[in-house]
Chain A
Amino acid sequence: MKDLFTEIWESVRRNKLRTCLTGFAVSWGIFMLIVLLGAGNGLMNSFMSGGRGFAANSVLVGGGWTSKPYDGLKAGRRIRLDDTDVAITGGDLFTDHVDQVSASVYTNATVSYGKMYFSGRIDGEYPASQEMNKIEIRYGRFLNDKDITDSRKVIVIPENTAEKLLEGGQGVESLLGKYVKVGSLAFRVVGISKSDRMSNSNYIYAPFTTVKTVYGKGKEVGEICFTTKGLDTEAANDAFEKQYKSVINLNHRAAPDDERAIWVWNRAHQNVQMTQGRKILSTALWIIGLFTLLGGIVGVSNIMLITVKERTHEFGIRKAIGASPWGITKLIISESVSITAFFGYIGMFLGMLTCALLDKTLGQSTMTVMDEQIAMLVDPGVGLDVAIEATLVLIIAGTLAGFFPARKAASVRPIEALRAE
């Protein structure tokens, strides 16, 4: 092995400039590949963090209208979810795939504090909802189990709502522990949640039990939310949804295959699409990177052909004193692989350095979209897997680049080679 490297070094040393110029093309190819993939990852991470409002494996269920007559009842009937559905969801039937269950019920009310007031939707939630809906608490706490069991009159207000309840809109944390009026009842503020103008982050949260009792919702439930487990494929998710719908439909005397009796929003699907999108982007970037690298590989192959031509006489001597064709082939291919790998690693190193630089610059700058700060790139860079893949690519590319020149070198007959100069 050491002998082989000595031979390669001897050959490269004689053609430093030529080797470096060729190597630059390889470095450039790998550099582009790494930077493209790194920036692509940063972009995808940024998209992903945009969808951080929900746990990836959560399912939201709500009531709908039947679309088929069933069991003597006609189509177009309103289905309202209730406590029995919550019990079924959390019951033995779905214990394999359902993890945490939470239900919500909502009402509209006016919240007032002193002279200020605000009208909005008040969600009766369970503590588990925090994780499922990724509710971030700025000050205080979210609802807890005690709030539920005691039906406490407590409330969690989003920041932007809290600002509307304060004159001047400053110092929202001062509301903590204060009582605000919800309709005609006083609720104590236990938490302030983070908000933006998107999606569900501007709801006011109160304990599920409190909202139900106070606002006379009876057995009725607004939405059921639960997290799933053990559903790894899209097919498994589809099968589970089908089964779930048929069970809940039957609970309301609707046709088991009625698609509209209840609506089910499984965020896993969204997640799968995200993952697919990521795959497509990274494949596209790989292709662009590999084509850039191709230029470098052709250069290496070219240089190896010239090397073989120049060294024909030397190979003749080697053959005369006992080098086998494989001995010559090995020499050329390993030289080609060494050049490719060495300059490839320089490119890879510089590429990773650039990714780190991107993280320090673009990664820190943000755009404001709908009141939310979105970083343009989140954690750009490539993982160890890409580094290993790129290494494999380099070795394969180097072998390919050296293959034809090596075959040419090995096939020259020793007397012809000795005659050459």
Chain B
Amino acid sequence: MLIELKNVNKTYNNGQPLHVLKGINLGIESGEFVSIMGASGSGKSTLLNILGILDNYDTGEYYIDGRLIKGLSEKQAADYRNRMIGFIFQSFNLIGFKTAVENVELPLFYQGVSRHKRHEMAMQFLDRLGLADWAGHYPNEMSGGQKQRVAIARALITQPKIILADEPTGALDSKTSEEVMQLLGQLNREDGVTIIVVTHESGVANCTDKIVHIKDGIIGQIEDNREHRASVFGTSTIMK
């Protein structure tokens, strides 16, 4: 079991206490392509933040690869994020004053990899995602799909155990969305990368092999979706 959550609870105490996650139990195997689907306010973003070690939880246990993730120092958390998790965000979160290749290099910079080596690796990954020609461009010179592919390259470069994608198609048109989801599926099938996608769009969720429904902070149905027939709007499109 690569990811294991046992009875995880999280309450926000901003004025009125808000119990967001009410005892989450979830297991994800290595090599799975999973989506976590829920409406806004369902707790899916909080769950993603906890999975990504960006936020802490109150009670329960969270294991990555058998390692308990709890009460980490900032430095340790940063190190775990760097080595075990790759992030893909809705708004890409590329650094605007760095070129595509510099953005992709950044996680390796924090690992202390030499300039030359990390540049070489970053070029390799950009090449794989078909962006070798765009390496020297700044994010604002690229289309949304290109930016997201740069972000995917950045998430992949440390060869993490898990890729966490938070609404990865949220800022893209339907055609590009489809391309991005296909790319993620391809990475999962060909490289065996474990991918967890958080979304509220059923079309996006339909692209994944397993759909975890979350509602009001509780995990509901877990659908096996290897047939990709979950979408009520048809199997072949992402409805916008």
Contact = CB atoms under 8 A, between A and B. Distances in A.
Interface of A: 2-3, 10-11, 14, 313-314, 316-327, 413-415, 418
A322 B55 CA distance: 14
A298 B52 CA distance: 38
A322 B83 contact: yes
Nearest to A320: B87
B93 A415 contact: no
A320 B81 contact: yes
Contacts of B109: 3
A11 B98 CA distance: 10
Given A10-B97, A14-B97, A415-B55, A322 B115 contact: no
B78 A322 contact: yes
Contact of A322 (B93, B98, B111): B111
Interface of B: 49, 52, 54-55, 74-75, 78-79, 81-83, 87, 89, 93-98, 106-107, 109-111, 115, 154, 158
A413 B55 CA distance: 8
A185 B54 CA distance: 107
Given A3-B109, A314-B96, A322-B111, 13 more contacts: A10-B97, A11-B97, A314-B95, A320-B81, A321-B107, A321-B110, A322-B82, A322-B107, A323-B78, A323-B110, A324-B110, A413-B54, A418-B89
15 contacts: A10-B98, A313-B93, A317-B93, A319-B78, A320-B54, A320-B93, A321-B106, A321-B107, A322-B158, A324-B74, A326-B75, A327-B78, A327-B110, A413-B55, A418-B54
Q: Which of A2, A314, A326 has most B Cβ within 10 Å?
A: A314
A323 B79 CA distance: 8
A319 B96 CA distance: 16
Contacts of A319: 78, 81
Contacts of B107: 321-322
Nearest to B106: A321
Nearest to A414: B54
Contacts of A3: 109, 115
B75 A321 contact: no
A324 B94 CA distance: 18
Contacts of A327: 78, 110
Contacts of A418: 54, 89, 93
A325 B75 contact: yes
A321 B75 CA distance: 12
B147 to A, nearest CB: 13
A320 B111 contact: no
**Chain A to chain B: the 8 pairs with minimum beta-carbon distance, closest first:** A322-B82, A322-B110, A324-B78, A324-B75, A321-B107, A317-B93, A415-B54, A325-B74
Contacts of A2: 115
B74 A321 contact: no
Contacts of B95: 314, 317-318
Nearest to B154: A321
Nearest to B86: A321
Given A2-B115, A3-B115, A322 B54 contact: no
Contacts of B89: 418
Contacts of A316: 93
Contacts of A318: 95, 106, 110
Contacts of B82: 321-322
A418 B82 CA distance: 16
A318 B78 CA distance: 9
Contacts of A323: 78, 110
A324 B80 CA distance: 10
Contact of B87 (A10, A11, A321, A413): A321
A320 B81 CA distance: 7
A401 to B, nearest CB: 23
A326 B74 CA distance: 10
Contact of B52 (A313, A320, A325, A413): A320
A72 B222 CA distance: 123
B71 to A, nearest CB: 15
B12 to A, nearest CB: 12
A413 B154 CA distance: 21
Contacts of B83: 322
Contacts of A320: 52, 54, 81, 87, 93
A286 to B, nearest CB: 40
B81 A322 contact: yes
Contacts of B115: 2-3
Given A3-B115, A414-B54, A321 B81 contact: yes
A414 B82 CA distance: 13
Nearest to B83: A322
A319 B95 CA distance: 12
A14 B75 CA distance: 29
Contacts of B97: 10-11, 14
A339 B95 CA distance: 22
A316 B96 CA distance: 13
A320 B78 CA distance: 7
A332 to B, nearest CB: 16
Contacts of B78: 319, 322-325, 327
B80 to A, nearest CB: 9
Nearest to B118: A3
B75 A322 contact: no
A322 B79 contact: yes
B168 to A, nearest CB: 15
A98 B106 CA distance: 72
A322 B113 CA distance: 13
A415 to B, nearest CB: 5
A324 B106 contact: no
Given A322-B78, A326-B75, A415 B106 contact: no
A314 B92 CA distance: 12
Contacts of B111: 322
